[in-house]
């Protein structure tokens, strides 16, 4: 395998994903089979959408609309690449959640039968694929169930669609003190659920090791500082912004989606430069 250390740059970013819609926003269409909350208020769960699919729908215009139960949620506006909706409150029920082009009658892609309960806190991340319809989604559950006291949870997904980046190791630490945290993570694979990384509070240097056949466990992409906060779920997603799939034109980035209640709706994901 080629040594990509001279080819790869990295951007780490924080998606401030905990902001809700504004007070004057019209909620999306309701789900089915929901139960009312206390005091006559409907019970709700939360869904966050993040757009990390480069050049989708096109290189000239990356704006996508959200569709709920087949209808465009026009009150939410559109998302461009690297933007997050913040948390969207949906009444308890079952939903089909999709993304598409604003003004179209149907979504390009839909995740059907999403169950929303009062405990639901989902993050739906669009990423680029090599299929004819070059987009798919990761669905993460922000649950902290089973998390030990004093720890935070890190979920990881591989959304960098260049074959030269498939697979990668998730590396912890920096040269020369490195170790492989997750071996051979394949494109479109998620590390979540029972495999989630539950780590003690602190700041961890994480990156992607793409030269799996060398003797070093250190990152070729990164490392970057990833904060782990008590009782908070952070999500790392790898993306390749160069869509040509040419091995000499890689442009991988590592994004971190970390809740922040102070973030305004639709704020672009903040860019953080890698640690020198």
Per-residue pLDDT, 207: 86
Closest residue by Cα to residue 1 from 179, 182, 163, 183:
163
Query: How many CB atoms neighbour CB 143 within 10 A?
Result: 16
CB 67 within 8 A of CB 73: yes
Cα-only R_g, the chain: 19
Per-residue pLDDT, 245: 73
Pairing between strand 44-52 and 64-68? unpaired
36-74 pLDDT, tens digit per residue, is 555 678 899 999 999 999 999 999 999 999 999 999 999
Tokens of 267: 């704020």
What percent of the chain shows pLDDT beyond 70? 79
- The whole-angstrom separation of Cα 210 and Cα 214 is 9
Closest residue by Cα to residue 98 from 66, 57, 53, 126:
66
Q: Which of the pair, 235 or 225, is modelled with greater confidence?
A: 235
Per-residue pLDDT, 260: 59
What percent of the chain shows pLDDT beyond 90? 52
CB 151 within 8 A of CB 198: yes
Mean pLDDT of 119-129: 94
What is the average pLDDT score of the chain?
81
Flag whether pLDDT at 29 surpasses 50: yes
DSSP state of 242: -
Mean pLDDT of 99-117: 94
- The whole-angstrom separation of Cα 224 and Cα 160 is 17
Tokens of 156: 């990881």
Of the candidate ranges 4-13, 65-74, 208-217, 220-229, the one whose mean pLDDT is the lowest: 4-13
Per-residue pLDDT, 214: 83
Per-residue pLDDT, 181: 92
Query: Residue 221: pLDDT band by 50, 70, 90 thresholds?
Result: confident
165-206 pLDDT, tens digit per residue, is 899 999 999 888 999 999 999 999 999 999 999 999 999 998
């Amino acid at each position: 395998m080629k040594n990509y250390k001279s080819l790869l740059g990295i951007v780490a970013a924080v998606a401030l994903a905990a902001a809700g819609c504004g007070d004057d926003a019209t909620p999306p269409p309701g789900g089915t089979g929901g139960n009312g909350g206390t005091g006559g208020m409907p019970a709700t769960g939360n869904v966050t959408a993040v757009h990390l699919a480069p050049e989708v729908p096109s290189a000239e215009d990356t704006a996508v609309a959200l569709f709920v139960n087949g209808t465009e949620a026009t009150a939410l506006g559109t998302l461009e690449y690297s933007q997050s909706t913040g948390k969207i409150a949906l009444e308890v029920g079952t939903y089909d959640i999709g993304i598409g082009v604003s003004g179209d009658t149907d979504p390009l892609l839909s995740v059907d039968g999403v169950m929303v309960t009062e405990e639901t806190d989902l993050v739906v991340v669009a990423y680029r694929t090599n299929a004819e319809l070059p987009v798919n989604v990761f669905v993460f559950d922000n649950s902290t169930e089973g998390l030990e006291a004093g720890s935070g949870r890190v979920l990881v997904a591989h959304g960098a669609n260049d074959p030269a980046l498939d697979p990668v190791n998730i590396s912890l630490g920096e040269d020369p003190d490195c170790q492989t945290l997750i071996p051979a993570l394949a494109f479109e694979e998620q590390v979540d659920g029972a495999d989630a990384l539950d780590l003690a509070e602190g700041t961890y240097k994480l990156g992607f090791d793409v030269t799996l056949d060398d003797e070093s466990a250190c990152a070729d992409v990164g490392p970057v500082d990833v904060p782990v906060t008590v009782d908070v779920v952070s999500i790392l997603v790898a993306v390749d912004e160069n869509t040509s799939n040419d091995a000499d034109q890689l442009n991988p980035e590592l994004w971190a989606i970390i809740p922040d209640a102070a973030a305004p709706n639709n704020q672009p994901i903040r860019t953080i430069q890698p640690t020198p």
